[in-house]
Structure 1
Amino acid sequence: MEGFQLQFIISVFIILLGYLFKRIKILKESDGQTIARIVFNITLPALVIVTFDQMVISLSLVSLIFIAFLFGLASALIGILAFRSEKDGIKGMAAMMVPGVNVGLFAFPLVEAIWGREGIQHFGMFDVGNAVIVFGVCFFIAGYFAKGTSSFYLREAFSPLLRSIPFLTYMFVVALNLSGFHLPGLFLDTAEIISVANMPLSLLLLGLYLNFSFEKSWLPLIGKYLAIKYGTGLFLGFSLFWILSDYPMLANTVLIGFILPASTTSVVYAIRYQYNTKIVGTIVNITIIVSFVLIWLLASFVAYH
């Protein structure tokens, strides 16, 4: 059995374990909020610090920031155009979920298992550009179509970005790397021990948030959203995959990065702007399942090409 296939089986088992713990009431879905804060504010930053400390920043790595940002902008435009005929409550809700993907919580544990530290470095740089989309562009779309004016949101669009500990950690360690400074060995050793918890906690959290119940009346909207999100991601992903074939890890990052699930911050924006949080939460859950299957298929494809 291929190594990455074994890692996928282990990942599925941990996710199902989280779902089982929820079903038998060892853990509650509300416990996920605490676990999510631990992941985003402690274990994920620790993983970024350890991974980026010794990283050699190359042009291909830096290009991932711009690739992720441009992909997010293109997806945002496609989402707005695709849902332009919907009511504002649906248009803003669906359009804000097309750009922006879940890298830190979803991709990192799988990428670390398949490609190790090199994979984390590439997806980390991808996430820098993606973070601007998630905390800036998605936030703006959600607010603009909820209120119908952009004057307020242009001032606030990027404020969540400056409060994101993972994003600030990216900026901090990249700045240290470029300046030639390195963190003390004791600090890095401590961060490495903490970072080991990132993969299992992230996968358990995905299991806690899995929910398979939804109203049948939502199916047309969900189907349209999935077709737009994954149609765009697969088309652009495969296009760049062949163009960047001389840079295998760069090509892999783009291919996988473009079909990651919708960002969980969509639920936060839905609450803030009074969209239907049940539909948003359901769509996020479905994209987790769809993306997991697609990543397994694409990782198998990449392994033989």
Structure 2
Amino acid sequence: MLFQSGSLLLVIVAAYLLKHLHVFGDRDYKVAQGLVFNLTLPCAIVMSFATNEHDMSMLWIVLFGFVCALAPMIVVYFGSRRDETRYRAYQMLNASGLNLGAFCLPVVQTIIGPSAGLPVVMMDIGNAMVATALALTLTKGLLHMGDAAQSLPLGMRLRNIARDFLSSTSFDTYMLMLLLMFTHVTIPHWIVSLVTPFANANAFMTMAMIGLMMEIPQERKDRMELLKVVAWRALFAVLIGAAGWTLLPFDREIRGIMLLCAASPVTIFSTKFTDSLTGNPKLAGFSLTVTGVLGLIAMTIIHAVVSL
């Protein structure tokens, strides 16, 4: 297990070093990002649904994921009132949300096995409802970081929000799998065979993407804000993990996976939204990298303890 987790960390380090050796450019992470969100992650989601048994009780995990993504945003909004608006936006976007599909899913499937993927996917359906679009809308609304869109009629704003959701290939895949689950439709074996090579590449591509995004911010204020986000996420990880372990009506294995989910890092969408609202891509990317490394270490320890 330690070697499996270490290999994932090694991919992050290797991609970072290759970027600084000028094998890759500063913006090349967008290529990896496009491959993860539009190819390897959707295929991993399909394979998790197709190769695991699931029942309607798993919908409790969807609701749990939605609450775990939304509640921290509200807490941070009130807890960051003394900070500048742009740093409040950074904290709200990066202290909330769980990087489940793009990070936790490949990690869990690497250290436990493919069968562990379904609970992560179900939790990410609820989590993605917030992370893919609602987080940005809520942050801009609460902090009055308005732009031209704020003056649009309500109907048009709702259409823009719907477009943000539907333009996410990963979110669309989640909704399709949920529909198949409701209608009891089985995914054909030939589709599973087609997506398997791409799904198996998801862990590598995700870690490489994180390594390519990594860049240490120079300003001391940025580093201090990062520490605040790490502290917020540590607090929420404990609360989410405790709630998942004690409240969800599932066996020990699934509740243990919820503990791993709680240690997930900043979402990719949060880094994108942080860049667009604050114009600070280095801080956004480094936040993902730091919480990703810490999350990987925490997941390894949690799994070792729960497996005893």
Give the TM-score normalised by the residue count of structure 2.
Answer: 0.88
Are the counterparts in 1 of residues 166 and 172 from structure 2 also a CA contact under 8 Å?
yes
Which digits, 9 at most, give the CA deviation of each residue in 1:208-265, with x for residues without a partner? Answer: 2222343223333222222122112213313432445962232123212222111121
Q: Residue 158 of structure 1: CA displacement?
A: 4.2
Q: Alpha carbons of 1:108 and 1:240: their partners in 2 closer, same or farther (altered >3 Å)?
A: closer
Equivalent residue number for residue 168 of structure 1: 172
Are the counterparts in 2 of residues 102 and 260 from structure 1 also a CA contact under 8 Å?
yes
Q: Alpha carbons of 1:13 and 1:285: their partners in 2 closer, same or farther (altered >3 Å)?
A: closer
* Alpha-carbon distance in structure 2 between the residues aligned to 1:215 and 1:147: 26
Is 1:102 aligned with 2:99? yes
Letter in 2 for 1:147: G
SS of aligned partner of 1:68: helix
Letter in 1 for 2:198: I
Identify which range, 43-52 or 278-287, moves more after superposition.
278-287
Equivalent residue number for residue 251 of structure 2: 247
* Alpha-carbon distance in structure 1 between the residues aligned to 2:32 and 2:255: 32
Q: Alpha carbons of 1:214 and 1:61: their partners in 2 closer, same or farther (altered >3 Å)?
A: farther
Is 1:189 aligned with 2:190? no
SS of aligned partner of 2:113: helix
* Alpha-carbon distance in structure 1 between the residues aligned to 2:249 and 2:305: 13
Equivalent residue number for residue 264 of structure 1: 268
Identify which range, 55-64 or 252-261, moves more after superposition.
55-64
Report matched runs for 1:1-305 at 5 Å.
4-144=1-141, 145=143, 146-147=145-146, 155=158, 156-244=160-248, 247-304=251-308
Long gaps (5+) in structure 1: none
Letter in 1 for 2:283: I
Q: Residue 295 of structure 1: CA displacement?
A: 1.6
Are the counterparts in 1 of residues 217 and 283 from structure 2 also a CA contact under 8 Å?
no
Are the counterparts in 1 of residues 103 and 203 from structure 2 also a CA contact under 8 Å?
no
* Alpha-carbon distance in structure 1 between the residues aligned to 2:110 and 2:283: 31
State the 4+ residue runs in structure 1 displaced beyond 6 angstroms: 148-151
SS of aligned partner of 1:147: coil
Letter in 1 for 2:202: N
* Alpha-carbon distance in structure 2 between the residues aligned to 1:293 and 1:215: 26
Q: Residue 48 of structure 1: CA displacement?
A: 1.5
Q: Alpha carbons of 1:245 and 1:125: their partners in 2 closer, same or farther (altered >3 Å)?
A: closer
Letter in 1 for 2:184: G
SS of aligned partner of 2:94: coil
Q: Residue 169 of structure 1: CA displacement?
A: 0.9
Letter in 1 for 2:29: G
Long gaps (5+) in structure 2: none
Count the aligned residue pairs.
Answer: 301
Q: Alpha carbons of 1:181 and 1:114: their partners in 2 closer, same or farther (altered >3 Å)?
A: same
Q: Residue 59 of structure 1: CA displacement?
A: 4.2
Are the counterparts in 2 of residues 139 and 157 from structure 1 also a CA contact under 8 Å?
no
Give the TM-score normalised by the residue count of structure 1.
Answer: 0.89
Are the counterparts in 2 of residues 261 and 288 from structure 1 also a CA contact under 8 Å?
yes
Q: Residue 150 of structure 1: CA displacement?
A: 6.5
Letter in 2 for 1:25: H
Letter in 1 for 2:174: Y
SS of aligned partner of 1:25: coil
Q: Alpha carbons of 1:150 and 1:251: their partners in 2 closer, same or farther (altered >3 Å)?
A: farther
